[in-house]
Structure 1
Amino acid sequence: MVKIVGLNGSLRAESYSAQALEVAATRVQALGADMEILDLRTLNLPFCHGGDDYSDYPDVARLCQTVKEADGLILSTPEYHGSVSGVLKNALDLMGFEELTGKVTGLISVLGGQPNSNALNDLRVIMRWVHAFVIPDQIAIGQTWKAFDQDGKLLDQKLSQRFDQFAQSLVETTQKLKA
């Protein structure tokens, strides 16, 4: 069995990136993978200062250990000003090669305007830099206020199918690389 950890890169209470991550997590679990979500809204993380000592912040150790023990990752981010959220970038900056190298990673972005790949492309560069493997399947949800119902369920069948394909690609790739 593979273990996948999801990171939600939004601090909003009604976060669409958290909803998208929940959809992906459900699909990953349905394929038999162990899934854990680390919601950055609930962690006390400092701004990364480039050093190694974050002993005053136990959640940094929790973040690093949880990701280190995972076989794969799902990174879900809102797109702010054409890129990844500062919250997610900071969480990634608090980790290093020890935690991120070799992780099979799936990427999700949500934005209020038309779907594009800016945040996803930036995340690909970041994850490649730390020697992670980003799967080709990715999800960009534009006009997110139209994508989910009030219970967080997807309204569009084609988008739902993309989540199925995304989850299958992530789990199968992770299984292959773990073997």
Structure 2
Amino acid sequence: MNTFDDKSLPAFALNQIDIPTSEKLAMPSHYTHAPRILLLYGSLRERSFSRFLTEEAARILLHFGAEVRIFDPRDLPIAGSVAESHPKVAELRALSMWSEGQVWCSPERHGTITAVMKNQIDWIPLEHGAMRPSQGRTLAVMQVSGGSQSFNTVNTMRVLGRWMRMFTIPNQSSVAKAYDEFDAAGRMKPSPYYDRLFDVMEELYKFTLLLRERSDYLTDRYSERKQRHVEELKSTAPAVDVI
């Protein structure tokens, strides 16, 4: 049997390579607070089925023991139209930094997410100074449709979640003919859709518990360690007098 045992890495800075081990991934016990979950929905309608589904998801997460926040997208300006200090923008960004997991729920419009949903995501930067408001957070994606079941919207949000460096869980929720799935009070009726929603929130809660303990380690990258090392060397290099 042919084997391959060449471990030479001449192109890499060996002092910046970290070898993953089970010990490094072991769960510490310094977390004492409940998992923090931020929920976003993508409709401004008074009878908003994406909001109803989001609120139902929040109830399940509360039952598991999570601390939840639901962001109200009303009065959030279009991304780029106002300064980042705008109160609604600052609120959304603070909630994203606070969160350890997120739930995104959007109606399907023209085969994709709504402008309301995209606007919220656009206001959460990939980087903000030394902070990364989305990196390392877990993410569950959900959609509601007025017609037959579709997965266009959840697939779009998966792409966005990956771009935002989030851990998007495998399970997802897509509720077809949403107008039939909620009662007059906005509560979800018993159905396979409700069972799937419970499954998704259960999975999100489990992954959030698991990954928040090691989020910093899991998102620690060789390329960034190398760049930090180069910058540290520059900052500590002695000044050279020019004659």
TM bracket (short chain): over 0.9
Query: CA offsets per residue over residues 47-74 of structure 1, 9 Å max, x none?
Result: 11299x422x211011001111100001
1:85 maps to amino acid: T
1:93 maps to amino acid: D
How far apart, in 2, do the equivalents of 1:162 and 1:136 lie?
Answer: 12
For the 8 Å contact 2:158–2:168, the answer to whether it is kept is yes
Structure 2: 5+ residue stretches without partners: 1-33, 127-131, 214-243
Find the partner of 1:7 among 34, 37, 40: 40
How far apart, in 1, do the equivalents of 2:35 and 2:49 lie?
Answer: 26
1:18 maps to amino acid: R
**Alignment RMSD (CA, Å):** 1.4
Aligned to 2:80: 49
SS at match of 2:182: coil
**How much has 1:157 moved relative to structure 2?**
2.6
**How much has 1:131 moved relative to structure 2?**
0.4
How far apart, in 2, do the equivalents of 1:128 and 1:88 lie?
Answer: 16
For the 8 Å contact 2:52–2:188, the answer to whether it is kept is no
Q: TM-score, normalised by structure 2?
A: 0.69
Q: Does residue 114 of structure 1 match 2:144?
A: no
- 1:91-130 counterparts in 2 under 5 A? 91-97=120-126, 98-130=132-164
Q: Does residue 20 of structure 1 match 2:53?
A: yes
How far apart, in 2, do the equivalents of 1:79 and 1:178 lie?
Answer: 30
> How many aligned positions are there?
175
- 1:54-65 counterparts in 2 under 5 A? 54-55=84-85, 57-65=86-94
Q: Does residue 34 of structure 1 match 2:70?
A: no
For the 8 Å contact 2:43–2:51, the answer to whether it is kept is yes
Structure 1: 5+ residue stretches without partners: none
Find the partner of 1:148 among 182, 186, 198: 182
SS at match of 1:136: coil
How far apart, in 2, do the equivalents of 1:46 and 1:69 lie?
Answer: 21
How far apart, in 2, do the equivalents of 1:154 and 1:37 lie?
Answer: 17
2:103 maps to amino acid: I
Aligned to 2:197: 163
Distance 1:50 1:59, change over 3 A: closer
Find the partner of 1:90 among 110, 115, 119: 119
Higher helix share: 1
**How much has 1:36 moved relative to structure 2?**
1.0
2:84 maps to amino acid: Y
Structure 1 stretch displaced more, 109-118 or 150-159: 150-159
Higher strand share: 1
Identical residues among aligned pairs (%): 30
SS at match of 2:171: strand
